[in-house]
Amino acid sequence: MKTLIVQLGARSYPIHIGAGLLSQGMLIRERLQKERICIVTDDRVGPLYLDKLKASLKPLVVESVALPHGEENKDWEALDLIFTALLKSGYGRDSALIALGGGVVGDLTGFAAAVYQRGIPYVQVATTLLAQVDSAVGGKTAINHRYGKNMVGAFHQPLVVVSDTATLDTLDPRQLAAGLAEVIKYGLIRDIRFFEWLETNIQQLVAKDEDALDHAVVRSCEIKSAIVAKDERDEGERALLNLGHTFGHAIETALGHGEWLHGEAVAAGMAMAAALAVRQGGFKATEHRRLCRLLERAGLPIAPPAHLGAEELRKHMARDKKALGGKIRLVLPKGIGQAVLTDEFDEKALEATLDNEPL
């Protein structure tokens, strides 16, 4: 097991990464006081791992609620299911939640914990690659709105993140690839050596080689937790973690949440951000090709669906949370291993990128 600490003063917390951690309930119990516990999971992950987690938490007695799975259910209704279950069972302010699942369950549970009776603690038990490398770490919680992805939410840090890499065994190839998109993002924004390592090891990752996945999760969490420690509230450097997300969120919203997986949209979004950077002269065409090749080898798309035109995507991009004074800001790569947040981009170059014109 490898343990990293997200350094946030009094709200610092550990991320435990390793195979078989679902059975090590002590990692969670040691972070809880005397709260009543409710596990929030979904109808896919629950049948696989809920009993195992409950058994490892003994002697704690825990209840659970299972939500419908999928990004299309990251909404008010699912949130209400959590609140109703808690209120019906008389959960008070001495309660805590445990998210058992991927990014959707984690974001919903975290947001429910942020606002239930004005805030209770929660724990992230991440069972998808995307959650283990990104969404479970850093305290961003949210639900989607029909006008945009993650539009209603709160910053609320978990007490501990437990990433049992053995749970990746049951992940389908599409979900695995979606997580790899975020892994590739870390190499692109921060670490050229990690990017090169991914180029060498992408086949092993797709084949779920245990050591390769372990390294990918650990290195991704090291990069993310260092950035979150410096900029918890996303007021500066943390925006770099959003490379590909302005385009990606627009694709997700335009298609309808759940049509593409978040990581798939981010992959296409990263290729688009890189293409725009090439058009503006900040990124080499050869680097763009390397990125696209790596994404494709991971089984990911490198362009938005053909039927979504520039106008449709532009409309959704305008609602991005990074926009300032109505002006879109984008994270663009500046060579592999570096990225910048900028509001300086050429409208024609953006339109050509949104239309997926060849470079």
* Stretch of residues binding ligand GLY (CB under 6 A), selected from 102-110, 116-124, 238-246, 256-264: 238-246
Backbone angles phi, psi at 123, to 5 degrees: -125, 145
18 binds ligand GLY (CB under 6 A): no
Residue of 183, 189, 241, 291 that binds ligand GLY (CB under 6 A): 241
Q: At its nearest, how many Å lie between ligand GLY and the CB of residue 129?
A: 14
Q: Between residues 107 and 164, which has the closer beta carbon with respect to ligand GLY?
A: 107
Residue 72: which of 291, 252, 307 has the closest Cα? 252
Number of residues that bind ligand GLY (CB under 6 A): 7
d(C-alpha 265, C-alpha 268), whole Å: 5
Q: Between residues 167 and 242, which has the closer beta carbon with respect to ligand GLY?
A: 242
Rounded to the nearest 10°, the torsion over CA 291, 297, 303, 304 is -130
Strand stretches in the chain, DSSP E: 2-6, 13-18, 36-42, 62-67, 95-101, 122-126, 140-145, 148-155, 161-164, 330-333, 339-342
Which residues are within 8 A (CB) of 338 and not within 5 positions of it... i.e. 6 or more apart? Answer: 189, 190
Give the per-residue contact string, 188-227, with ligand GLY (x = CB under 6 A; - = no).
----------------------------------------
Strands 161-164 and 62-67: unpaired
Q: At its nearest, how many Å lie between ligand GLY and the CB of residue 134?
A: 5
Q: At its nearest, how many Å lie between ligand GLY and the CB of residue 239?
A: 8
140 binds ligand GLY (CB under 6 A): yes
Mapped onto helix, strand or coil, the DSSP state of residue 35 is coil
Q: At its nearest, how many Å lie between ligand GLY and the CB of residue 154?
A: 13
| Amino acid of residue 123 | V
Residue of 35, 107, 134, 164 that binds ligand GLY (CB under 6 A): 134
Residue of 25, 110, 121, 138 that binds ligand GLY (CB under 6 A): 138
238 binds ligand GLY (CB under 6 A): yes
Distance of CA 270 to the CA centre of its chain: 15
Residue 263 near residue 130 (C-beta atoms within 8 A): yes
| Amino acid of residue 217 | V
Tell which positions 288-327 bind ligand GLY, by CB under 6 A.
Answer: none
Q: Between residues 74 and 140, which has the closer beta carbon with respect to ligand GLY?
A: 140
* Stretch of residues binding ligand GLY (CB under 6 A), selected from 189-197, 209-217, 237-245, 308-316: 237-245
d(C-alpha 175, C-alpha 261), whole Å: 8
Q: Between residues 278 and 295, which has the closer beta carbon with respect to ligand GLY?
A: 295
Q: At its nearest, how many Å lie between ligand GLY and the CB of residue 140?
A: 5
Strands 330-333 and 339-342: antiparallel
263 binds ligand GLY (CB under 6 A): no
Q: Looking at the DSSP assignment, which residues form a beta bridge with residue 163?
A: 17, 126
Q: Between residues 57 and 136, which has the closer beta carbon with respect to ligand GLY?
A: 136
* Stretch of residues binding ligand GLY (CB under 6 A), selected from 54-62, 134-142, 336-344, 349-357: 134-142
For 212, the enclosing helix (H) or strand (E) is helix 210-230
The CA radius of gyration of the chain, in Å to the nearest whole number, is: 20
Give the per-residue contact string, 66-105, with ligand GLY (x = CB under 6 A; - = no).
----------------------------------------
End-to-end CA separation in angstroms for the chain: 45
Which residues are within 8 A (CB) of 316 and not within 5 positions of it... i.e. 6 or more apart? Answer: 148, 249, 250, 253, 254
Q: Between residues 25 and 102, which has the closer beta carbon with respect to ligand GLY?
A: 102
> Could you list the residues that contact ligand GLY (CB under 6 A)?
134, 138, 140, 234, 238, 241-242
